[in-house]
Structure formats: structure tokens, C-alpha cells
A and B are shown apart, each in its own frame.
Chain A
Amino acid sequence: MTRFIALYPRAWRDRYETEFLATLEEQPGGSLDHFDIVRGALDARLHPELAGGRQVRQRSLAAMLTGGLAASAGLGWLAWIGLILRDFRGWGNGTPASADLMVLLSVVGGLAATSAVLAIAISAGDTILPIGRLGAILAALGFFLTAFGAGMSMAIALVGVVVLAWSMAGLAIPRWLAIGWIGTTASALAAMLAFVAGGGRDVGLLGLAVPYGVAWLLVGVSIAIRGPVSTTPMPATSD
């Protein structure tokens, strides 16, 4: 039953986790209690101010926004790659009907990724390693350039993601996801380089870039669920 505590937002856990777990140990509970805890977690997410005032609410909203941007980047990327795999037949084989949509998705996904890493850098302040903020700025630059067609700038984005994910591992995102984020970014870059090196004929190579979009989705969900990136404890009753 104690594993359900992970459903509560971080600010709530900072304030109540120890005594809550002590209570659960004394009262093992049944399936109704499981439901009650899940419902309590939902309530705590809907009312983050209960665990620490306005500042916590603002941080939670910032985390939701950041997570939403990251998830949007993942969805945009998946849709973009999906269209390419479906419609694109290699360079010189005519322009697919969905070309405009591909460009639009590329820009939207790239800008969402840019905004997400900048939001992480701004809101993470006292939590991620200082070098992580530098990584976020580097990643933002890489994604921004990639969005507007400079595919090689994915290399800059990869360096930024490596630094940022390393500094966030175990905090806003679990370690396995940090490693996955880095790995799938490298995989996406390798797929693009291989595609270009092959003269743009083997579109199927870009299928290797699909996990990258999934990783962004998971990163977004993780940031939104784990709550504020900052872990500074808030006073229990301040407003």
C-alpha cells in the first residue's frame, strides 16, 4: 500500500510522507483503503496549496506547464516522424501532400521542446545541478535550430540533453528515464545522420527516431506527476 504514496505531489510528500507511512504501517488496510489513498492523491494534486501555500501552487502549475510542453514536444515529434514514414519516399521523389503539415509539426515540436527545457532551467533553480541549467540552454538552442530545418543542430541538442538529464536524474525524472532520454536522443541523431549519409533514400531509418518522441512524452508526464522540480520544503500552514 505504501507505494501509492508516489502518487502524491512532492510538496505534499515533503510535509506528510513520514507520518503518513507510519500510519499505514500501523493500519495495514484493505482494498477500500487503496482506493481512499488514490483518491487522496488526486485531491492533493487538485489542491496543492494544502501542503504549503501559494508558492507551492505556483510551482505545481509551473511543473504542469513544463510537463505539458515536454509531452507536446513528444507528440509533435511522433506525429512528424509518423507522417514522414507514411508519405515521404526519399529525396527527389516528389513532395508529399503532407509536406506543409510536416513543416508545421517540426516547428511546433521543436518550439515545445525549446520552451520545455527553458522552463526546466528557470523553475529548477535550486534543485538541478547548476551545470544542468547550462545544458538546458544548450538543448534549447539545439531544438530551436532543429525546428527550423538545421538537422545537424540535433548534435547540440544531444549535448544539452546529456547534461540536463544527468543533472535531473533522480529528481524531476527517474534515473532510468534520464538514461532513456539520452539514449533515444542519440538514436534520433544517429538515424538522421544515417538518413542524410544514405542520400535520403532509406526513409525507414527514421523509424529509429520514434523512441525519442516516446522519451519526451515520458519526461513530460514524469515532470507533471512528480510535481515541482524544486524540492525546497514549504512551511505547512503558510498562505
Chain B
Amino acid sequence: MSGDVLELGRFAEPSLYILVSLSEGPRHGYAIMVDVERISGVPLGPGTLYGALARLERRGLIEALEPEDRRRPYRLTGLGAATLRTQLDGLAGFARTGLRRIGGTTR
């Protein structure tokens, strides 16, 4: 079981958004879609959402909770939280490097 979200091909970016969304607490499918669009500005289609959820669940990064009515909430697992932190640290370092370089060229 690999925790590297970047291995998920076209689902890598949606998966990262979903992990960030779930880091605030359990959410079901539609709530994840709304939250992802709010925090990233990127609309998440239902097919992509469930493709990513299935991959994250299979990798043990999220887990399904008992259904509420017909909606099933998902939450981050411990592995999912650790993976998200690693990914965000990496992205933060990448962003700092990029900002430093672009800052250097514009001076």
C-alpha cells in the first residue's frame, strides 16, 4: 500500500484536494465537491470525485463511515493525515523555491 498521492496520475490533484477537504472532518461526496470548489476554485466532477475516493480508500488514506441516510461520509485515516502533511510540506518547499527564484529574476 503506497501513500504517495502523486502516483495517482490524473487523480493526483483531485485526491490532494479531497484529502485537504477531509482534514477538517468527515464529509460525504457532495460536501466534498462543494468544499473543494470553495478552497481550490476547481470544480470536481462526480466521476472524478468517486474515481479519486475509490483510489484513496483502496490505499488506506481515507475510510468510509456508516451511511447517513443514503450519503456515506469519509474521513482521513492516520496514514492519510501523515501523507497529506508530507505532500503539503513538499508543495510548500516547492512554492518557496519558486517564489524565491521568480523574486530574484524580477529584481
Spot the interface stretch: A16-24, A73-81, A160-168, A195-203.
A16-24
- Does B28 contact A19, Cβ atoms closer than 8 Å? yes
Instruction: Give Cα A214 to B50, complex, Å.
Output: 35
Chain A 18-40 near chain B by CB (<8 Å), digits 1 or 0: 11111110110100110111111
- Does B71 contact A23, Cβ atoms closer than 8 Å? yes
From 21 to 70 in chain B, residues with beta carbon under 8 angstroms from any chain A beta carbon are 28-30, 33, 45-51, 54-55, 57-58, 60, 63-64, 67, 69-70
Question: A75: shortest Cβ distance to chain B, in Å?
Answer: 32
Say which residue of B28, B47, B60, B71 sits within 8 Å of A237 (CB atoms): B60
Residue A194 at the B interface, CB < 8 A? no
Instruction: Give Cα A43 to B72, complex, Å.
Output: 21
When distances are taken between beta carbons in the complex, the residues of chain A under 8 Å from B49 are: 23
Residue A169 at the B interface, CB < 8 A? no
- Does B28 contact A36, Cβ atoms closer than 8 Å? no
Question: What DSSP secondary structure best describes chain B's contact surface?
Answer: helix
- Does B70 contact A19, Cβ atoms closer than 8 Å? yes
Instruction: Give Cα A237 to B67, complex, Å.
Output: 16
- Does B47 contact A27, Cβ atoms closer than 8 Å? no
- Does A18 contact B47, Cβ atoms closer than 8 Å? no
Chain B 53-97 near chain A by CB (<8 Å), digits 1 or 0: 011011010011001011110000000000000000000000000
Interface residues on A, range: 20 to 34
Residue A190 at the B interface, CB < 8 A? no
Please tell me the number of chain B residues within 8 Å of chain A, measured between CB atoms. Answer: 23
- Does A50 contact B33, Cβ atoms closer than 8 Å? no
When distances are taken between beta carbons in the complex, the residues of chain B under 8 Å from A51 are: 54
Instruction: Give Cα A19 to B55, complex, Å.
Output: 16
Question: A3: shortest Cβ distance to chain B, in Å?
Answer: 14
- Does B45 contact A20, Cβ atoms closer than 8 Å? no
A27-B33, A40-B46 known; A19+B67 contact, CB < 8 A: yes
Say which residue of B30, B48, B57, B58 sits within 8 Å of A26 (CB atoms): B30
- Does B57 contact A37, Cβ atoms closer than 8 Å? no
Instruction: Give Cα A39 to B51, complex, Å.
Output: 10
- Does B46 contact A24, Cβ atoms closer than 8 Å? yes
Residue A236 at the B interface, CB < 8 A? yes
Which single residue of chain B is at the shortest CB-CB distance from A49? B58
Chain A 65-96 near chain B by CB (<8 Å), digits 1 or 0: 00000000000000000000000000000000
When distances are taken between beta carbons in the complex, the residues of chain B under 8 Å from A33 are: 45-47
Provide 13 A-B residue pairs closer than 8 Å at the C-beta atoms, listed in order of the A residue: A12-B54, A18-B67, A18-B70, A18-B72, A19-B70, A19-B71, A26-B30, A29-B45, A33-B45, A36-B47, A37-B45, A40-B51, A237-B57
User: Which residues of A are interface residues toward B (Cβ below 8 A)?
Assistant: 12, 16, 18-24, 26-27, 29, 32-33, 35-41, 43-44, 49-51, 236-237, 239
Given A40-B47, A237-B58, 17 additional A-B pairs, CB 8 A: A12-B54, A20-B50, A23-B29, A23-B33, A24-B46, A26-B30, A27-B30, A27-B33, A35-B45, A37-B45, A37-B47, A40-B45, A40-B48, A43-B51, A44-B51, A50-B58, A239-B58
